[in-house]
Amino acid sequence: MDKRELIQKITEKKEFSRLPKEDVEMALEKFEKKNLNDYQKIKLTRQFLRKVFSSFSSRKVFSSKGKDVEWYLLKHKSTKERYSFYEEIYSNCLKPFKRASVIDLGAGINGLSYGFFEKLGLKVDYVAVEAIGQFVEVMNTFFEENKLSKKARAYQLSLFDMGSIKQLIEKQKKPRVIFFFKVVDSLEVVKRNYSKELLIELSKISDRVIVSFATRSLGSRQKFGAQRKWLLNFIENEFKILDDFEINGERYISFENKFL
């Protein structure tokens, strides 16, 4: 099979059916030059995509309809971890802003937590960017049903489509705050050092970027040995750090472009 046929075969499986073509193609390229038959390429590409899009472990989210927002947030891995701490997280991420545009990259279903902005009295125009089409649909349905469509919207885009992401961000009102929650590891698995390039570009068109990463395992809550020194050193060297805090096994680093 040629590349087009392989991509078509990979995306026949429902969980991959609504991924951006460029993400599937980049995953397939990891195995194309190896001495593998078509079946092996398809199988390994699907396994790789599951690793990159860890959100597939929350497939119940896009196979269920009509549930309340709490049910969805507690079924998705990352939002479940944050659920009891959203007010503290958002308060720290957005201080001292009372009004802001939040652009949530690799959002998963984080947009369903919009009510926590309102609980804090924050006026937020929210934009979610997510590659998994099913999650985009879940978020936009929630926004429509809760009459939030004028101030919240989800878009299906690959995070490797830097041009489209920058265009979307530049359309948002200032101040602009970028959420980059638990995204870096997945990007680095696909393309080494891409996250550094993306963060530099994001800092030029935003007022603040918040990067987060897990510090403890989800099940055992054991602290990870790897501390991502490469990422911490990069942020310290390239940006002005505004805040650095840890909540429930997730570390958040807030920073801005030090030259603007």
Which residues are paired to 252 by β-bridges?
A: 212, 245
Model pLDDT for residues 214-255, shown as the tens digit of each residue? 987 655 445 554 568 999 999 999 999 999 999 999 999 999
Distance of CA 130 to the CA centre of its chain: 6
Asked if 82 and 36 sit in the same domain, the reply is: no
Model pLDDT for residues 150-186, shown as the tens digit of each residue? 999 999 999 999 999 999 999 999 999 999 999 999 9
Asked if 152 and 189 sit in the same domain, the reply is: yes
How far apart (Å, rounded) are the C-alpha atoms in residues 230 and 234?
A: 6
CB-based contacts of 257, cutoff 8 Å, min separation 6: 203, 204, 239, 240
What integer pLDDT is reported at residue 61 of this predicted model? 64
Model pLDDT for residues 107-136, shown as the tens digit of each residue? 999 999 999 999 999 999 999 999 999 899
**Looking at the domain assignment, is residue 57 inside a domain?**
no
Asked if 152 and 233 sit in the same domain, the reply is: yes
Asked if 151 and 100 sit in the same domain, the reply is: yes
Tell me the HSE value of 83 on the side-chain side, using a 13 A CA sphere: 14
**Looking at the domain assignment, is residue 60 inside a domain?**
no
Residue 174 buriedness (CB in 10 A; 0-12 / 13-18 / 19+) = exposed
Model pLDDT for residues 14-30, shown as the tens digit of each residue? 889 999 999 999 999 99
Asked if 127 and 213 sit in the same domain, the reply is: yes
Asked if 129 and 200 sit in the same domain, the reply is: yes
Flag whether pLDDT at 212 surpasses 70. yes
Percentage of residues in the chain having pLDDT higher than 70: 91
**Looking at the domain assignment, is residue 213 inside a domain?**
yes
Range of the structural domain that residue 15 is part of = 3-52
**Looking at the domain assignment, is residue 184 inside a domain?**
yes
What total number of domains does the chain contain?
Answer: 2
Tell which residue, 62, 231, 216, 217, has the closest CA to residue 154.
62
**Looking at the domain assignment, is residue 13 inside a domain?**
yes
What integer pLDDT is reported at residue 68 of this predicted model? 86
Asked if 218 and 161 sit in the same domain, the reply is: yes
Model pLDDT for residues 182-201, shown as the tens digit of each residue? 999 999 999 999 999 999 99
**Looking at the domain assignment, is residue 59 inside a domain?**
no
**Looking at the domain assignment, is residue 107 inside a domain?**
yes
**Looking at the domain assignment, is residue 63 inside a domain?**
no
For residues 78 and 108, the answer to whether their CB atoms sit within 8 Å is yes
Asked if 77 and 194 sit in the same domain, the reply is: yes
Asked if 19 and 87 sit in the same domain, the reply is: no
Asked if 129 and 243 sit in the same domain, the reply is: yes
Asked if 96 and 18 sit in the same domain, the reply is: no
Asked if 158 and 86 sit in the same domain, the reply is: yes
